[in-house]
A and B are shown apart, each in its own frame.
Chain A
């Protein structure tokens, strides 16, 4: 008996089944997506703590440079464009998955990767530049909070890139299998969430910071 037959015959299996609420356990796709949403929520709570710390320390430059002196809005605008575009191409990859078009999937994911990687490179360049000019994270509490908040987002994007590659390899090796599709759904949720966090970050750190 294959797993598929069981799925048909036992509607109340833990992994799957029809209906929800009164009909018993939700189907596995719902469960996985829901769980991942909860994870994203927790991640956003973590970012809120870093945001709060940044808000408290933003003015504590300890005689060192302030945001207005350091931030290069042109660079940040390019970063933002790259990241937002990458979300768009990630969406295209999702469409390719729905249409089961693997070639389009690889193309869209590759573009997403390139955009994400450029974002990271630009960010790294900014960081290196700041550290070299004596505005590293140890200079003042403001800079500690800045590097941590922005760097934490950057780390997330880096982790996302690693996941992206793994995801491509998985589709390559396993095809559009149910469990792989669920994983891809989580990946795209993750990638979009990083965008949302970046929008907050862009506003609170760079826009407000540059005007201060």
Chain B
């Protein structure tokens, strides 16, 4: 009746996961109880859960990302403290548990921390920068969000019910086959990632279509902001790469569930094929993450240098170059697996060449700053920290791209330091820059600068203190994923890395305090005009937060930096543009389709993990029924009256008029 499910699968005898999950469960129940008792649920349901507004979806993605980053971070704290205690000693995490922790850490950080963060910011900003009212498929967008949340939920359920994979963030066979991983851990991984992956694929399709087909009048490709370009490149990569992930995981699933022989050791299976396929997705994936971050840095550096982006066209070219070449380097992840010297050399060269595209960008950012009036606000600090840090990460990457060197460094802590160097220093710093930069756009008030700067410095120092020792100890031969070790020469470095974690933790705390303080002081931090940073692209032409329809009238774009030119004209003539002729606007209605669909996906995923077949059928039926009900609606849109549009726009215009009257900066 309940498949493999029974009371034995709940780890009552292991205090650590029990306490952790009890805390999580109590927190969730507490929040839910508060929501229901205080009567917030109808509001949440109406305005958020069922929302198809790209801005709200973006905010929810980002919230999911922040929560999952915290979860992944606590795993990281456990690993570093375990190693600090495990010199010639067992430490406090038994091997079985340690393996689950590093697997969950990687999976959560990549799929449910970094990805939703990047996609959340894309959601919030891209339609605004394109000067349109929403994405191409708003309801599908909500489906994407909730499917991603389903994946995150499944991974976290594994904490209490059953176990998580012990196979790392990419479950290499034969270890991940039933013969060596008979439990449900790998199944949790497979279904969580598979379901979230479908959500991501839909996002990719949605954004490719949005960016290519829905832009404000006059916005030709070469007038799009850099962030739109990098989001386009990332979305194209999603469309081209995620189906490979889907197929690969499906093959492993068939091996595990029905005894197929794709990757097994016997009957002709080929385990190296898994490694090839997973990295054919995996390497593009790292650029799916980092390209949007590059876009964010471009926006931030240009805004806070008060200059147009230097070499805009070369930036576009570099982005597309990276987009294409990222599909031609995957083998550098397994130079040691016997492809032979010639193949290794070819991929080593291709890998080094990809760094050229990134190099172009770094120079462009430096020239953007050169001669500019730089303002060192928090988003700019994250960008500067990124430029230094990422160059180091890129250089260690090029070092790893040299096959003979990689033979020594592969799977060592040097590799671990490399990819944290690029992912934290690139993706995460970018996400934090975007978070502080666009927060006022989303909520109408800025984040507290003092706490933000503190958080930046602590995180930066904490990062170096944690990962520079890992480079060193990797060179000394320490391999990754060790539950304990006996080599005295490694011990001091491991201790320093552990201490670095304490500083990083302080950075995390500072970031949380920043949010709390900012919410409490929101009146003082209010952004009344919608343009708190003296921005240059179209999102700053809207009020903060923007109304559902974004623009009272779609802007007409006449060049690069569309908002900057509008603003300069206003400053020149000392008056705003004429009021547009207000007209009624039609917007898509909210819909619970995404949420209900994800509900059934959760049921189905859980049932598949535990082999509860009737429940699988029920979930599939429910999902299909949801789609049919959605397809049957008659009125997918509603109309906002011209008077309402005028009221909202006029309020913002008067704030801007006031700002213009008191403007004292340089005039064109």
CA distance A61 to B267 in the complex (A): 7
Among the 9-residue stretches B237-245, B390-398, B413-421, B598-606, the one with 4 or more Cβ atoms under 8 Å from chain A is B237-245
CB closest residue in chain B, given A9:
B583
Contacting pair A21 B260 (CB below 8 A) = no
CB closest residue in chain A, given B221:
A21
Nearest CB on B from A72, distance (A): 23
B217 CB contact (under 8 Å) in A13, A24, A179: A24
Contacting pair A53 B215 (CB below 8 A) = no
Contacting pair B554 A141 (CB below 8 A) = no
B353 near A: Cβ within 8 Å? Answer: no
Number of interface residues of B (CB under 8 A): 60
Residues of A within 8 A of B270 (CB): 56-57, 60, 141
A57 CB contact (under 8 Å) in B214, B215, B216, B262: B262
Contacting pair B220 A53 (CB below 8 A) = no
B206 CB contact (under 8 Å) in A14, A35, A53: A35
Nearest CB on A from B430, distance (A): 26
B328 near A: Cβ within 8 Å? Answer: no
Main secondary structure of the interface of A (DSSP, over half): helix
A68 near B: Cβ within 8 Å? Answer: no
Residues of A within 8 A of B583 (CB): 6, 9-10
CB closest residue in chain A, given B140:
A35
Residues of B within 8 A of A57 (CB): 262, 268-270, 273
Contacting pair A6 B267 (CB below 8 A) = no
User: Which B residues, 258 to 275, have Cβ-Cβ distances below 8 Å to chain A?
Assistant: 258-262, 264, 266-270, 273
Given A45-B240, A57-B268: A31 and B209 interface contact (C-beta under 8 Å):
yes
Contacting pair A34 B273 (CB below 8 A) = no
B628 near A: Cβ within 8 Å? Answer: yes
Nearest CB on A from B287, distance (A): 16
A52 CB contact (under 8 Å) in B206, B260, B264, B277: B277
User: Which A residues, 18 to 73, have Cβ-Cβ distances below 8 Å to chain B?
Assistant: 20-26, 30-31, 34-35, 38-39, 41-43, 45-46, 49-50, 52-53, 56-57, 60-62
CB closest residue in chain B, given A22:
B218
Among the 9-residue stretches B104-112, B113-121, B431-439, B630-638, the one with 4 or more Cβ atoms under 8 Å from chain A is B630-638
Number of interface residues of A (CB under 8 A): 54
A10 CB contact (under 8 Å) in B209, B585, B634, B636: B585
B213 CB contact (under 8 Å) in A34, A53, A145, A183: A34
Contacting pair A25 B585 (CB below 8 A) = no
B248 near A: Cβ within 8 Å? Answer: yes
Nearest CB on A from B514, distance (A): 35
A209 near B: Cβ within 8 Å? Answer: no
Given A1-B584, A57-B268, A57-B270: A140 and B261 interface contact (C-beta under 8 Å):
yes
Contacting pair B246 A6 (CB below 8 A) = no
CB closest residue in chain A, given B244:
A49
Q: Please indicate which of the listed interface residues B246, B260, B554, B636 has the most CB atoms of chain A within 10 Å of its own CB.
A: B260
B655 near A: Cβ within 8 Å? Answer: no
CA distance A140 to B259 in the complex (A): 10
Contacting pair B261 A34 (CB below 8 A) = no
B208 near A: Cβ within 8 Å? Answer: yes
Contacting pair B205 A35 (CB below 8 A) = yes
Residues of A within 8 A of B269 (CB): 57, 60, 141, 144
Given A46-B246, A60-B268, A141-B268: A38 and B209 interface contact (C-beta under 8 Å):
yes
A170 near B: Cβ within 8 Å? Answer: yes
Contacting pair B586 A6 (CB below 8 A) = yes
CB closest residue in chain B, given A139:
B267
Interface 1/0 per residue, A61-103 and B, CB below 8 Å? 1100000000000000000000000000000000000000000
Given A21-B220, A35-B137: A6 and B585 interface contact (C-beta under 8 Å):
yes
CB closest residue in chain B, given A27:
B213
CA distance A26 to B216 in the complex (A): 10
B34 near A: Cβ within 8 Å? Answer: no
Contacting pair A12 B243 (CB below 8 A) = no
Residues of A within 8 A of B220 (CB): 21-22
Nearest CB on B from A4, distance (A): 10
Residues of A within 8 A of B266 (CB): 62
CA distance A17 to B278 in the complex (A): 42
CB closest residue in chain B, given A26:
B213
A142 near B: Cβ within 8 Å? Answer: yes
B254 near A: Cβ within 8 Å? Answer: yes
Given A31-B214, A141-B261: A49 and B247 interface contact (C-beta under 8 Å):
yes
Give B residues with C-beta under 8 Å from A.
Answer: 132-134, 136-137, 201, 204-206, 208-209, 212-218, 220, 239-240, 242-244, 246-248, 250-251, 254-255, 258-262, 264, 266-270, 273, 277, 553-554, 583-588, 624, 628, 631-632, 634, 636-637, 639
Q: What are 9 pairs between A and B in contact, CB < 8 Å?
A: A12-B554, A34-B209, A35-B208, A42-B205, A49-B243, A137-B258, A141-B270, A144-B262, A148-B260
Give A residues with C-beta under 8 Å from B.
Answer: 1, 3, 6-7, 9-10, 12-15, 20-26, 30-31, 34-35, 38-39, 41-43, 45-46, 49-50, 52-53, 56-57, 60-62, 137-142, 144-145, 147-148, 162, 166, 170, 173-174, 179, 183
